[in-house]
Amino acid sequence: MRPTEARHEMERQLVFELPNDIRRIEDTVEFVVSRCMVCREVAHKLHLNFRVSLTEALSNAMIYGNRRDPAKRVRVEVYVRASSVTAQVSDEGPGFDPDEVPDPTVVGNRSRSHGRGLFLMRELMDEVRFNDSGNSVTLVLHLPETDAASDRAPA
Amino acid sequence: MAFSVSREGEVTVVDVTGQLIVGNRQELRQKVLDELRGGARRFLIDFTDTAYIDSSGLGVLVSLSKKIREAGGELRLSSLSEDLRTLFELTKLDTLFRIADSRQEGLEAD
């Protein structure tokens, strides 16, 4: 993983590619979260909501998108702003239709061992968007306005 | 991350330290299934030191619970943080598991 990191006045950008190896997910998530610690007020949302959702997006990309093919890669783009954290995770697979994924919380589906990843992303993030082909997901977490952010806001 | 297995009376206790996610779920699965094959029937997985669980981690708990029940045993969970409990509630898995507030409560017989 050789991330490129750019800082602009109001935004930090982090872009890198990962080999298709689920053993890399844990360290990758911790690395990204460490770069997103905007302030203590948002630490809790990053700790659970963002961490779990990014883990889901990476594992979906590696297992279902790239079908565990070690020759394929996963691209990660993260944008940290005062008001939001956005992560885009893209795989090299053919994509899928997110509307066809069954609801894991209905009684007949609860005892299944798979199928909760997309549901958790949608529950934990403020926005979850897919591209048309379904092989790239964008996760957006809105951050509560902080004193520092409101100081910069126009009057 | 690590999974440590110990015995407390008739209960096999597994402590999950760190994360239970896609990258390590098979390790937990293997440890519990080894104990099941060795004759253990009552299991308690304790999450006191667990930071977070992803959907794969939840899935392996569902799958282990089923296997243990089929063998005539029981899997209980204990010491979920507020965050972890939220994940179980969102996915309605709190209706599938017996979740104890503390390790001690999880160890108690019916």
Q: What was the pLDDT predicted at A149?
A: 45
- The DSSP result for A79-136, as a single string, is EEESSEEEEEEE-SS----GGGSPPTTSGGGTT-SS--HHHHHHHHSSEEEE-TTSSE
Show the domains of chain B with their CATH numbers.
Answer: 2-107 (3.30.750.24)
Sketch the domain layout of chain A as residue ranges: 4-152
ipTM at complex level: 0.90
A34 touching B (Cβ < 8 Å): no
Maximum CA pair distance of chain A? 53
pLDDT digits (tens, 9 = 90+) for B16-46: 999 999 989 999 999 999 999 999 999 999 9
Give A24's contacts in chain B (Cβ within 8 Å): 23
Closest Cα in chain A to B81: A48
Of the candidates B23, B62, B90, the beta carbon closest to that of A25 is on B23
pLDDT-based confidence at A42, cuts 50/70/90?
low
User: What average pLDDT does this structure show over A68-88?
Assistant: 94
pLDDT digits (tens, 9 = 90+) for B32-89: 999 999 999 999 999 999 999 999 999 999 999 999 999 999 999 999 999 999 999 9
Evaluate whether A51 touches A27 at the Cβ level (below 8 Å). Answer: no
User: What average pLDDT does this structure show over A72-80?
Assistant: 96
Q: What was the pLDDT predicted at A134?
A: 96
Dihedral of CA B97/B98/B99/B104: which sign?
A: negative
A114 touching B (Cβ < 8 Å): yes
User: Superfamily assignment of A4-152 in CATH?
Assistant: Histidine kinase-like ATPase, C-terminal domain (3.30.565.10)
